[in-house]
Amino acid sequence: MPTVLHALLAVAAQHLSRFDRSRRASCMIDANRHYNTAIRIFMASRTAVTPLSGAAQLLLSILTCIFACANAESVRGLLVFNAQGDLADWVVLFRTITPVVESDTETIWLRRLEPLFVQMRCSADARRTPQALELGQSYIWELKLKVLSEHSTNVRICKIYADTIDELGRVWGIAIKKDGECSLQIAGIFSWLFEASNPYLEFLKQREPTALVIFGHYIVILRRFEWTWWMEELGGRLMTQIYSLLSEKYRSWLKWPQQQIGWVPPDHMN
Average pLDDT over residues 45-49: 71
Average pLDDT over residues 97-121: 64
Whether the predicted pLDDT of 243 surpasses 90: yes
User: For the chain, what is the mean pLDDT?
Assistant: 86
Is the pTM above the cut of 0.85?
yes
Average pLDDT over residues 208-237: 91
Average pLDDT over residues 14-42: 92
More confident residue, 119 or 253: 253
Whether the predicted pLDDT of 195 surpasses 90: no
Task: Give the model's pLDDT for residue 186.
Answer: 62
Task: Give the model's pLDDT for residue 200.
Answer: 97
**pLDDT exceeding 90 applies to what percent of the chain?**
52
More confident residue, 127 or 256: 256
Whether the predicted pLDDT of 225 surpasses 90: no
pLDDT in tens, 56-104: 888 899 899 999 999 988 989 999 999 888 999 999 988 887 776 666 5
Domain boundaries, the chain: 2-123, 130-269
Whether the predicted pLDDT of 181 surpasses 60: no
The pair phi, psi for residue 136, each rounded to 5°, is -90, -5
Average pLDDT over residues 42-66: 80
Whether the predicted pLDDT of 224 surpasses 90: no
Task: Give the model's pLDDT for residue 117.
Answer: 67
More confident residue, 176 or 107: 176
Among 79-83, 103-107, 189-193, top mean pLDDT goes to: 79-83
Task: Give the model's pLDDT for residue 111.
Answer: 62
